[in-house]
């Protein structure tokens, strides 16, 4: 005959509780590393958005100044007309967040120091172009200078 529970006796057995704890442990072991990747992807997305904002501000500046680019990208922040401040370039795992600029001397001079690389050499085909100053790759294995 099967064992019957007493009336009013409710609860879980030790084995049931151990199985639930093991399942929660497995789910946590999977979810925590994924959370870290999501944080890095959000920082990368912020950098790509900031790069787009910089390029848009450069285009507006170019139109307002009738065909001239600023000598430095910090020139976009003067009087706050184009940008109030330079955005940060976030390359998680490689460099600290930086809004600094490396002025280019003609050829793309990405120094891999973080921040932004800007080509201010007149007569160059890439004059007025801004890149992320990082030679590493993002989460999609694309080099930052390819954006």
Supply the pLDDT for residue 1.
45
In the chain, domain spans: 14-146
* pTM beyond cutoff 0.85: no
- DSSP letter at 119 equals E
Supply the pLDDT for residue 115.
84
What value does the mean pLDDT take over residues 102-108? 52
CB 133 within 8 A of CB 114: yes
* pLDDT above 70 for 6: no
pLDDT, tens only, 37-82: 888 888 889 999 999 999 999 999 999 988 888 888 888 888 888 9
Supply the pLDDT for residue 106.
47
Give strand ranges (E) for 9-137. 101-104, 116-119, 130-132
Residue 137's pLDDT band (cuts 50, 70, 90):
confident
């Amino acid at each position: 005959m099967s064992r019957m529970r007493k009336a009013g006796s409710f609860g879980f057995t030790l084995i049931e509780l151990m199985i639930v704890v093991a399942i929660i442990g497995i789910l946590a072991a999977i979810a925590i590393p994924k959370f870290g990747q999501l944080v890095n992807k959000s920082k990368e997305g912020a950098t790509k958005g900031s790069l787009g904002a910089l390029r848009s501000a450069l285009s507006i500046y170019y139109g307002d100044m009738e065909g001239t680019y600023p000598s430095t990208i910090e020139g976009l922040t003067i009087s706050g007309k184009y940008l109030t401040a330079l955005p940060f370039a976030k390359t998680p795992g490689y460099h600290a967040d930086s809004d600094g600029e490396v002025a280019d001397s003609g050829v793309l001079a990405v120094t891999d120091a973080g921040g932004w690389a800007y080509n201010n050499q007149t007569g160059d085909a890439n004059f007025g172009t801004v890149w992320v100053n990082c030679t590493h790759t993002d989460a999609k294995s694309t080099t930052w200078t390819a954006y």
